[in-house]
Structure 1
């Protein structure tokens, strides 16, 4: 396919997560897009006392950041592991952990519907970031929470993003949405892509509309949605 026929030729796609998704960036560029990386949040591992992991039957992870922070600690555990999302599972598996459960849709909302039937009366530990919602703890199970990393906004990047127009911005978390809005970001100047219906709801709550959202909540699939939308313009 020649460059003129690539579906994202002339488009600029901006990635905003705390870690640059190299595979998705390369894929977008292969489809003809210009890409920029402006992380709107950053994370740092919290220095805190470790839980007694022997108490728990299941460890629950809902983000690649929490999985990565956990793996940095090189913790040995016999607990089963539940993960929301392919990226989260991949981080854990790359460090030798086995993921025993993933929800059919990569969302905490779906996780809490499906996981109780698998967990039974198990004791669970939700390993999370400081801005994570209490969705997981709302399950009718014994769920303790451990904050493993702190999340903060990168307002300087949100200011840079606010100055752009005519680009497509991928938001992968409500925290990134909050950072953009705290900087005064205007929805009317950009096209908006969301990974996950929770992120979509956060955008809508802040007065925005989502132009692209994939059925499968991954970066590759959101690029495919953007490409389809650009091709059909």
Structure 2
């Protein structure tokens, strides 16, 4: 069976997400090294209107789902709304709480989500985007262009976990890193701000969860970038296995 036996794999995502990815990697025999460079926390929010005033509610992350549904009033009202989810993991987070997802794009990113939704649904009614503070404006720009009214509610905050700076610096001294993993552009930003000598990391195979993170890695000038075929952590692990076995094209 294909595996990553003995490979040292750096995980840079937030602590909760890092633990999940680490568990998947251990099943392949890999040695996951968790250095969570981000902190993601739910934040307090209020909305002036009832959720039922919106024709659609868009979720672009599992964290957005979790933080939004902490509010019982909105959790109840959401059952009466059309729901859009960016990908399988976000959809599963909603399904696990008893919600039906009415739209999910074929490729799990904001660009595809916007184009496919606007092609399929001819709505001019107001929509709600449930987001974090660092979410990209792709969806908002697309809906603005089509003159579709919308509101935004920020339900979680992502910030750098500066306490990990020394840990990250020591990692390469203690271990020969075989793969670096990134699940968001903000993790790459945090990484670049914390490493003292980027050139020592630049050529290490860098595994990105999707094309948005890949673009950031290209801009950062990583030289050996791998992108998951399916934009999930399982897809990232499968890409590493393919690369390790020399089957990655």
Same fold (TM over 0.5): yes
Aligned to 1:138: 141
Aligned to 2:41: 44
Instruction: Give the drift of 1:131.
Output: 0.8
| Aligned residues: CA RMSD | 2.0
Aligned to 1:174: 185
Matches within 5 A, 1:124-203: 124-139=127-142, 140=146, 141-165=148-172, 166-167=176-177, 168-184=179-195, 186=198, 187-188=201-202, 190-203=204-217
- The DSSP-based 3-state class of the residue aligned with 1:202 is helix
Instruction: Give the drift of 1:138.
Output: 1.1
Does residue 20 (structure 1) correspond to residue 20 (structure 2)? The answer is no
The correspondence for 1:35, drawn from 32, 35, 53, is: 32
Q: 1:8 to 1:213 in 2, by over 3 A?
A: same
Structure 1 moving runs of 4+ over 6 Å: none
Does residue 209 (structure 1) correspond to residue 223 (structure 2)? The answer is yes
Alignment partners' CA distance in 2, 1:76 and 1:119: 25
The correspondence for 1:58, drawn from 42, 53, 56, is: 56
Instruction: Give the drift of 1:156.
Output: 2.3
Alignment partners' CA distance in 2, 1:163 and 1:22: 20
Unaligned runs of 5+ in 1: none
Instruction: Give the drift of 1:16.
Output: 2.2
| 8 A contact 1:128–1:147 mirrored in 2 | yes
Does residue 123 (structure 1) correspond to residue 103 (structure 2)? The answer is no
Aligned to 1:68: 66
| 8 A contact 1:106–1:217 mirrored in 2 | yes
Aligned length: 229
| 8 A contact 2:83–2:100 mirrored in 1 | yes
Could you report, residue by residue, the CA deviation over 1:85-115 in whole angstroms, capped at 9, with x for unpaired residues? 1111111111111111110000011111101
Q: 1:143 to 1:158 in 2, by over 3 A?
A: farther
Unaligned runs of 5+ in 2: none
Please, what TM-score do these two structures have when normalized by structure 2?
0.84
